Copies of this chain bind each other. A is one copy, B any other.
Amino acid sequence: MKSAKDGACSTIGIMSETRAGTGSSPPAKPFLAPTYEGDFVLDEPLLLECGRALAGVTLHYAVYGRLNATKDNAVLVCHALTGSALVGSWWPEIFAPGAVLSLDHDFVICINMLGSCYGSTGPGSVNPETGSIYGPDFPLVSIRDNVRAQAKLLDSLGIRRLRLVLGGSIGGMQALDWAIYDPLRVQRALIIGVTPLSAMGLALNHLQRQAILRDPEWKGGRYRPQRPPRHGLAFARQIAMLSYKSAELFDERFGRKPNRNGEDPWDADGKEGGLGLIGGRFDIAGYLDHQGERFIDRFDANSYLAILRTMDIWDPQRGCTSAAEAFGGIRGRLSFIGISSDWLFPPQAVRDFAYTIRAAGVQADYREMTSAHGHDAFLAEQAELVRLLQ
């Protein structure tokens, strides 16, 4: 298991300013320690939507604050693709005084997704039926499978009401799916920067998947933990970073500047053994390479593949003849947030999605966050998100 702390504040991918040549340190982020962090093991196999059963399922989770006597102060936070249960580490400003969550009043729980490498059962876990790690045999896990497993953990804690379920990106998929799956449990859901993946989103995930599969070290998913497909995973992360940020932010931060380490994109001698085919990097290229390098130390390639697929297949209207059939059972109040510069989940698409659900008779509103940070804004500009929610 990778250390979730390594990934603090980098669920989707926070800008790092710590590259060689800057000389500046990243701003200190408030770090909020959980009240409790531990594992919950399901007492029977989880029957998955794909038809397979997952035995010995472990959910790694963290809680903040205390559950009150009436057990009606629980809030469930759902993390994004490469996040962890430690929401206090990657979303600390949500807990600021007067912000979205209150440690005085709320009992906040965050559960690591199935498939992840941050403590819950995933491709790196041992399959109790074979005694070996799952690797590529890890089954297809859906958003609904995650929600159903999470429900069993909440049941075990006696939580029958959720004041709020919230999340961004794939965390928002889970938040909405919770409202559909258990309408009476969810009073309110906050769904940030997400819809079912568009064709462009599916395309980006396909490219990320290819980046891993084309690394010879992937070995059909049966790589040794000591020798993972590092290049492929780093490359997948680089592709993802384009979709997490915006052209506007890249222009503002990097423009056409040469890489800050002094490389010269106009050099005649070139790099990598070639004289002219590959030159010194521009700053944006150095940034992307740096993001890729950082990522491979904190995430696992098979986990990445598993969760990409979980994201790909989520479509709550699939198999339904109408939006009313898909969403009409929701009883909670939904709030959707679009991000102005998000091109992975464009704000117009989030708004249209919210209005489709509202037209099905659900209480649903839409608000837009103005930010140049792209999809990542819900993590990179938490204070702005908090202002919008107040």
Interface residues of A (CB under 8 A from B): 48, 50-52, 123, 135-141, 196-200, 202-204, 206-207, 209-211, 213-216, 220-221, 231-232, 235, 238-239, 242, 247, 250-251, 253-256, 265-268, 270, 272-279, 281-285, 288, 302, 305-306, 309, 312-313, 315, 343, 346
On chain B, the residues within 8 Å of A239 by CB distance are 207, 239
Contact A275:B214 (CB < 8 A) given known A199-B256, A256-B196, A268-B52: no
Across the two chains, which residue of chain B brings its CB closest to A315?
B256
In the bound complex, what is the Cα–Cα distance between A52 and B250 (angstroms)? 32
> Mind listing 9 A-B residue pairs with CB under 8 Å?
A52-B268, A123-B277, A139-B275, A198-B250, A200-B247, A203-B288, A221-B274, A256-B315, A278-B305
In the bound complex, what is the Cα–Cα distance between A137 and B277 (angstroms)? 7
Across the two chains, which residue of chain B brings its CB closest to A54?
B276
- Closest beta carbon of chain B to A269's beta carbon, Å: 9
Say yes or no: B199 contacts A247, CB within 8 Å: yes
Say yes or no: B214 contacts A136, CB within 8 Å: no
Say yes or no: A275 contacts B207, CB within 8 Å: no
Contact A247:B277 (CB < 8 A) given known A203-B285, A265-B313, A285-B206: no
Say yes or no: B136 contacts A206, CB within 8 Å: no
Contact A136:B251 (CB < 8 A) given known A202-B282, A204-B242: no
On chain B, the residues within 8 Å of A211 by CB distance are 235
Say yes or no: B238 contacts A273, CB within 8 Å: no
One of B215, B221, B266 near A214 (C-beta < 8 A): B215
Contact A214:B214 (CB < 8 A) given known A136-B274, A198-B250, A276-B50: yes
- Closest beta carbon of chain B to A141's beta carbon, Å: 7
Chain B CB within 10 Å — which of A140, A221, A251, A265 has the most? A140
Say yes or no: A203 contacts B136, CB within 8 Å: no
Across the two chains, which residue of chain B brings its CB closest to A242?
B203
- Closest beta carbon of chain B to A252's beta carbon, Å: 8
In the bound complex, what is the Cα–Cα distance between A343 and B203 (angstroms)? 15
In the bound complex, what is the Cα–Cα distance between A266 and B211 (angstroms)? 21
Say yes or no: B137 contacts A274, CB within 8 Å: yes
Say yes or no: B136 contacts A275, CB within 8 Å: yes
In the bound complex, what is the Cα–Cα distance between A275 and B52 (angstroms)? 10
Contact A346:B242 (CB < 8 A) given known A276-B50, A302-B277: no
Say yes or no: A220 contacts B273, CB within 8 Å: yes
In the bound complex, what is the Cα–Cα distance between A346 and B106 (angstroms)? 45
One of B136, B196, B277 near A277 (C-beta < 8 A): B136
In the bound complex, what is the Cα–Cα distance between A50 and B265 (angstroms)? 11
Say yes or no: B51 contacts A268, CB within 8 Å: yes
Say yes or no: B242 contacts A278, CB within 8 Å: no
In the bound complex, what is the Cα–Cα distance between A135 and B265 (angstroms)? 20
- Closest beta carbon of chain B to A225's beta carbon, Å: 16
Across the two chains, which residue of chain B brings its CB closest to A136?
B274
